[in-house]
């Protein structure tokens, strides 16, 4: 069984507004003009943060547990943000399959729209073992994406 969710049109805007205290007692200061024949120094524009991960779709198999069990995980990354996730639930044991399916159903809501580096899935949908498998796959995917090799 395969579960998928894509964040379409997900945009996060952050506006920083500087606040200054105003007081009738604070003296006003005037800007000092540049000397004649010289230009005022320009304030350099802040540089955009470079992405750590190359945009794309990356897949890995995450192993966990004593049996051992695994998931096949595919993450789509854009600007270091998870935009989609697919996870297979290959267990043959009915109990294990149930845990995997519950985990796979809850995973997209937990990670889509999040920064790749902020992902820390511990216990999700009552399953701790499945999260270990996901985190193992995530470590492999982070390596692939930092090297730009899907």
Residue 8 domain-assigned (yes or no): no
Q: Quick one: angle between helices 129-147 and 94-111, nearest 10?
A: 50
- 33-79 pLDDT, tens digit per residue, is 445 555 545 544 444 457 899 999 999 999 998 778 999 999 999 99
Residue 56 domain-assigned (yes or no): yes
User: pTM for the complete prediction?
Assistant: 0.67
Residue 21 domain-assigned (yes or no): no
| pLDDT at residue 101, rounded to an integer | 95
Residue 92: give the domain boundaries. 51-147
| pLDDT at residue 67, rounded to an integer | 77
| pLDDT at residue 37, rounded to an integer | 56
Per the structure, the count of domains in the chain is: 1
Residue 93 domain-assigned (yes or no): yes
CA within 13 Å, CB half, 105: 9
Distance CA 119, CA 77 (A): 13
Whether residue 15 is predicted with pLDDT greater than 70 in this model: the reply is: no
- Provide the CATH number for the domain around residue 93: 3.90.1010
Residue 43 domain-assigned (yes or no): no
Q: Which range has the worst mean pLDDT, 8-22, 87-101, 126-140?
A: 8-22
E-strand ranges in the chain read: 2-6, 56-64, 69-78, 81-88
Residue 143 domain-assigned (yes or no): yes
Q: Work out the average pLDDT over 96-104.
A: 94
Residue 32 domain-assigned (yes or no): no
Distance CA 82, CA 57 (A): 10
Where is pLDDT greater, at 30 or 101? 101
Count CB atoms within 10 A of the CB of residue 5. Answer: 16
DSSP classification of residue 82: E
Where is pLDDT greater, at 93 or 87? 87
Indicate the pLDDT class of residue 150, thresholds 50, 70 and 90. Answer: confident
Whether 106 and 131 have beta carbons less than 8 Å apart is answered as: no
Whether 71 and 59 have beta carbons less than 8 Å apart is answered as: no
Residue 13 domain-assigned (yes or no): no
């Amino acid at each position: 069984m395969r579960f998928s969710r894509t964040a379409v049109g997900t945009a996060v805007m952050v506006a920083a507004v500087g606040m200054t205290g105003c007081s009738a007692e604070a003296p006003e200061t005037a800007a000092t003009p540049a000397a004649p024949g010289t230009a005022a120094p320009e304030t350099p524009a802040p540089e955009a943060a470079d992405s750590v991960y190359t945009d794309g779709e990356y897949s890995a198999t995450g192993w966990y547990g004593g049996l051992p069990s695994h998931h096949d995980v595919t993450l789509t990354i854009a600007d270091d943000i998870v935009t989609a996730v697919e996870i297979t639930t290959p267990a043959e044991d009915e109990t294990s399959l149930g845990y995997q399916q519950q985990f796979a159903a809850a995973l997209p809501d937990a990670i889509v729209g999040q920064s790749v580096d902020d992902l820390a899935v511990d216990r999700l949908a009552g399953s701790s073992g499945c999260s270990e498998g996901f985190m193992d796959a995530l470590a492999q995917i982070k390596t692939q994406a930092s090297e730009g090799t899907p």
